[in-house]
């Protein structure tokens, strides 16, 4: 019992908790290598075969979803199509700058021009739009905390 108390006392030190957590996570991940890699072929958000669009010299590769703006729907799948009535309609939109770049280079799809004025990822902004809202709120809170800590603890030390 005495040694158990020592273990508890050692664990009560906040410095040791990250190490303990990292060791446990490492054990789970190593055990995870033993688990058979069973992937599902019927993915909710399918992608074209790797390199197929690049080999076809498509400048939008690997993000080309086809379709014509407001006329023909592109290939975008949703889990609940009944909740996304306009899916695929604007996925082919390109801004004038994006069209210009698309004509000059084969690598538009992987360049920085591809967003936000270029390809519109409808999975990101339409079917799973709330995720994007949450991601930006996480970023906003991180910047709020970092700037508050910097302003009050780092830059005004002499006032303390």
Partner 1 sequence: MDASLFGALGGQLLGIIPLGDIVFYFTPLNLFMCAAALAFTFLIAISQTESQVEAEFGSLHDREVKVEKKEFKIRRFLAIVCGLATAGAMVTGDLFDFTLFVCLIGIVNIGIVAAVKQVDVLDAAYQYGLIAMIASLPLFGGASLILASAGTISLLQLVQLSYTTPMMALGSILVFMGVAGESGVAPFFATKAEMFRTPGSPFLLIIHLSSLLVIVRMIEILLIINKPF
Binding site for partner 1 (CB under 8 A): 12, 14-15, 17-18, 21-22, 24-25, 28-29, 32, 35-44, 78-80, 83-84, 126-131, 134-135, 137-138, 141-142, 144-145, 148-149, 152-153, 160
The answer for residues whose C-beta is within 8 angstroms of residue 97's C-beta and 6 or more apart is 113, 117
**DSSP secondary structure letters along 47-102:** -PPTTHHHHTT-TTTT-----BTTTB--S---S-GGG-TTTTSSTT---HHHHHHH
Min. distance of Cβ 96 from partner 1 in angstroms?
28
Whose Cβ is closer to partner 1: residue 5's or residue 96's? 5
- Residue 12 in tokens: 């009560």
Whose Cβ is closer to partner 1: residue 105's or residue 144's? 144
Whose Cβ is closer to partner 1: residue 52's or residue 152's? 152
Min. distance of Cβ 2 from partner 1 in angstroms?
23
Instruction: Work out whether the CA dihedral 91, 92, 93, 95 comes out positive or negative.
Output: positive
């Amino acid at each position: 019992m005495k040694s158990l108390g020592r273990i508890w006392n050692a664990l009560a030190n906040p410095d040791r908790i990250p190490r303990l957590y990292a060791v446990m996570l490492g054990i789970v991940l190593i055990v995870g290598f033993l688990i058979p890699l069973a992937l599902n072929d019927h993915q909710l958000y399918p992608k074209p075969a790797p390199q197929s669009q690049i080999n076809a010299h498509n400048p939008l590769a690997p993000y080309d979803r086809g379709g014509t703006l407001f006329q023909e729907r592109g290939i975008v799948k949703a889990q609940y199509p009944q909740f996304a009535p306009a899916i695929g309609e604007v996925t082919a939109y390109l801004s004038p700058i994006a069209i210009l770049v698309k004509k000059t280079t084969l690598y538009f799809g992987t360049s920085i021009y591809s967003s936000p004025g270029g390809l519109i990822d409808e999975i990101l902004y339409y079917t799973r739009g709330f995720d994007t809202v949450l991601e930006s709120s996480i970023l906003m809170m991180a910047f709020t905390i970092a700037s508050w800590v910097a302003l009050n603890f780092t830059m005004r030390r002499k006032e303390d």
